[in-house]
């Protein structure tokens, strides 16, 4: 089992990923591993609607804004907790689904 601050199959931690996702575009370009984190962002934008269906949406409805939903998921420092919950309950990581997380 991975620690709750780690993303499966990912080089960057949740904190680094969170900082990149919430940074303005001009800051993102200058961050370490910006290319890798940009790929994470693309995965998130494709995957977040599925997560919303499982974890819940903002005020009970789906948010079409990937950044808005990321902020909702990470509010109150709950990012690691929601990551672990998504894997345990639905077999989903924050950035994708993996066979090793399949719920029996």
Q: Print the SS3 string covering 32-76.
A: CCHHHHHHHHHHHHHHHHHHHHHHCCECCECCCCHHHHHHHHHHH
Identify the sign of the CA torsion 29, 39, 104, 89: positive
13-24 burial: b if 16+ Cβ within 10 Å, else e:
ebebbbebbeee
Per-residue pLDDT of 27-79, as tens digits, reads 999 998 899 899 999 999 998 888 888 877 554 566 778 998 888 888 877 78
Q: Look up residue 52 and give its two tokens.
A: 């919303």
Per-residue pLDDT of 6-24, as tens digits, reads 565 566 788 888 999 999 9
Decide if 95 contacts 43 (C-beta within 8 A): yes
């Amino acid at each position: 089992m991975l620690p709750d601050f780690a993303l499966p199959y990912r080089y960057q931690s949740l904190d680094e990923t969170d900082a990149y996702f919430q940074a303005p575009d001009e800051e993102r370009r200058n961050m370490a591993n910006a290319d890798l984190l940009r790929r994470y962002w693309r995965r998130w934008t494709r995957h977040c609607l599925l997560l919303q269906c499982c974890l819940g949406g903002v005020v009970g409805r789906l948010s079409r804004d990937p950044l808005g939903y990321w902020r909702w998921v990470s509010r109150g420092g709950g990012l690691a907790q929601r990551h672990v919950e998504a894997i345990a309950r639905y077999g989903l990581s924050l950035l994708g689904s993996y066979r090793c997380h399949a719920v029996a």
